[in-house]
Structure 1
Amino acid sequence: MREVYLDNAATTPIDKNVLDDMYDKMQNVYGNASTLYGIGRKAHTVLEDSRDIIAKSINAKPDEIIFTSGGSESDNTAIIQTAEARKSLGKHIITTAIEHEAVLKPLEYLEGQGYKITYLPVNTDGVINIEDLRSALDDETILVTIMTGNNEVGSCMPIHEIGELLKDHQAWFHTDAVQAYGLLDIDVEKDHIDMLSTSAHKINGPKMTGFLYKRTGVDFPSFIKGGEQEKKRRAGTENIPSISGFATAVSMITPEVKQELHDRYLGFKKQIMSELNDNDIEFVVNGTVDNNPLQHVFNVWIKGIASDVILANMDLAGFAISAGSACTAGNIEPSHVLVAMYGNETNRSSESIRISFGKFTTSEEIDLFSEALVKVIKRIKRVD
């Protein structure tokens, strides 16, 4: 049976160019980048060349890039270390109701430590009102952490407007860009971003590798205690093959590639909707389609059928999709994102599925998926 992978918002398959680069580095650049002899200097050169490539991708300075194990570590570092470093200025943090667990969990921890967290609501498109943020800011606010793009519905926050609002406020601005990096244009200078988190495995790079952008002047101690790697900002011997692979993945994402992927993903959504409409399947798109700049995520409410029932049947048919964040997929519960967007007065949050595309997804696969989804829905409805 052919398997079709449509859960790229959870993770992406590694690109062969990335794999080849990593294999080369594993064989030939095995030195510790912190050592002074030739083999170590070779590793250090690869490390700094990779840092330069990645810094340019967001218009940052190379020494503002800290390599980490991925998005969760980057988010935890930015949030918890900012809170600890700035608590003398206040203990108020602002976020949104639809953040990833990698942001919500550290904030929950900080609430237990006496910090006040404001969770901004979102509209039915999954976007905050900038005036709500303006009203929530006060003299005690030390951090605003708002995601760039949502991992469940693909909505994008007004990052530039948020940065403009905060540039003269004491609060530092952190954004979780894990889902958006590589698909959207991000400029940390233009958007006045102080910290930004990413993960390589979302852009066909290796898992357990990411970076935290930390603006010059944003100062807090290393979250992981130990050696003095990453200029004393992140202890632990750098993973040179994975970091180099990350840089290779980044180097392949040109402006032309971004536009081509945006258009292709939008076309995939329309293929699926067309098949559902042609077969009189009752569905509602969660979020927006045409006006959404983050097109790789497609979240659909299939009325009257529980998410886990559709997932199980599509899995048996050879299609990998999800009901939301992969970090909570082991225990399917109503999506906190959909509850925040639409309330919990309907079954919408427990009857929706997420289909997410990647650069290796083909139109043929979308046709196969659409036909299989229609068959599954009709069979379940007939049984009911």
Structure 2
Amino acid sequence: MAKVALKDVSRYYGNTSAIADISLTIEDGQFCVLVGRSGCGKSTLLRTIAGLEAVSQGSIYINDRRVNDLPARNRDVAMVFQNYALYPHFTVAENLGFGLKMRKTDKKTINQQVKTIAQSLGIAHLLQRKPKQLSGGQQQRVALGRAIIRQPQAFLLDEPLSNLDTQLREETRAELKRLHQELKITTIYVTHDQVEAMTLAEKLVVLDEGKIQQIGSPEEVYNNPANMMVAGFLGNPPMNLIKAQYQDGELQIGKQTVSIPENLNNHQLSHQNKVYLGIRPEAISDISSSEMPDMAKLTLQIELIEPLGRETLLRGKIPETEEVINFFVSGTWSGKPKDQLTVAVDLKQVFIFNEINGERIV
């Protein structure tokens, strides 16, 4: 196990920057998730740590050892890709034990470790099969087992679950979490799936356009987004971001006015005019709650109704604007598209962002 540290790391392709000035420390035994939209640089960053991409500038340390000039095979890390890359002519047992065989480990030790890993991953009954005889989930477990059996200093996983169906992803995700809690190996995991990011991460790193936008625990990043990019990325559905005009403690949204509580009406906000109001779907409720303190009313015209079983997702447009808000109501909603609905917004759970640079104001 090892601490992984990056200091001012950049990677350029000609004049194009894939990642820029990345400084990040993943502590020994920590599970760190790199998350962001496609093309944000997360896979490039992982590949530079692995040694599969050269660093254009900056330094990478594994266990306090600078590894910039070390080839991938000498960095003592194990990487699992979206493509499982199993040897098709080997059995599962041979795939699992291949790395140990290359290290000249004796056959008895290889067999013992293969059986132990296979049992922990629930694939002991598959040891004599070949990859083409396995399901996608089984192949993924073999790929994970092949990485684990090496006992590397760090695991690097690049969207390893993206080829699995929904149920299998959930099962394998839970298995990954259990294995990390058991093995405590430093893990760096790349995904664009925010559910994976929120459920697996101890440290969450949000990237956009090759730069770190925010670092923190999943709860910290979700509850206190640094900017509109982070706010609009995390959450399903993500935070509603609504254009508004601020003046004298009030927000004007179309022809509707929302009064800002004193705790939000700070000096920095008083210098703003055009802003974005950020509202999580869970901060919106039906009008029966509107008599509670710190609640504001908004009238919407319902555009879309999506029944989800125990709740219904509604999408409503604010009249006189192009702004759309997503929110949930319990159970089945009896209305129909084009109906008007007045909702309550919990102002304790809203955010205000600078329209120009997207940075959070309050």
Higher relative contact order (CA 8 A, sep 6+): 1
- TM-score, normalised relative to structure 1: 0.25
Structure with the bigger percentage of strand: 2
- TM-score, normalised relative to structure 2: 0.26
Structure with the bigger percentage of helix: 1
Decide which structure has the larger Cα Rg and report it.
Answer: 2
